[in-house]
Amino acid sequence: MLTVGDLMVRDVITLQETDGLLRGDDLLKLQHIRHLPVLRGRKLVGLVSHRDLIRALARHPASFGAPPRAMADIMTRELETVTPDTTAREAIHRLLDHRFGCLPVVDGEGALVGIVTEADFLRLAARLLDRVEPRPGDAWAQGAPP
């Protein structure tokens, strides 16, 4: 049975809840990601998406002399999470049912251990489709061993 632990990214880019919005924006751009888990120490306390940051920066642009806004000000606190042993099927349905872009993966103490995203499931779907319906031009589709 395929689990979230088989698919998740373990080396997750994160922020602390006291980090500023501009740092989050920089990380999203530099790392080419759309979701940033927010931690207090090692414990997951929130999530900030690319859309959250755009909305916050548009509504409250940084102004000279004003204290920078922190992730804690804009993060989503009520999170749906999974564990590494959650089945891939269950995780897919949670993403679809709630229209989430990702699910943080936590251990029994609530510490972040990974993240699984829509892109992880699209990569899985592509691998499975390539097995049953090879793309034109793939060497193994033309008789070469995979």
Residue 74, domain extent: 4-134
* pLDDT (tens digit per residue) in 3-27: 999 999 999 999 999 999 989 999 9
141 located within any domain: no
pTM above 0.85, yes or no: no
The enclosing domain of 13 has a CATH number of 3.10.580.10
57 is a domain residue: yes
Reading phi first (left if > 0) and then psi (alpha if -120 to 50, else beta), residue 105 is in beta
18 found inside a domain: yes
The rounded distance, in Å, linking the Cα atoms of 13 and 24 is 10
pLDDT for position 58: 81
Q: pLDDT for 39-89, tens place per residue?
A: 998 899 999 999 998 888 787 666 655 666 889 999 999 999 999 999 999
**Which tokens belong to 10?**
């373990």
Residues 6+ apart with CB under 8 A from 69: 20, 21, 56, 60, 62
Q: Give the per-residue pLDDT at 133.
A: 85
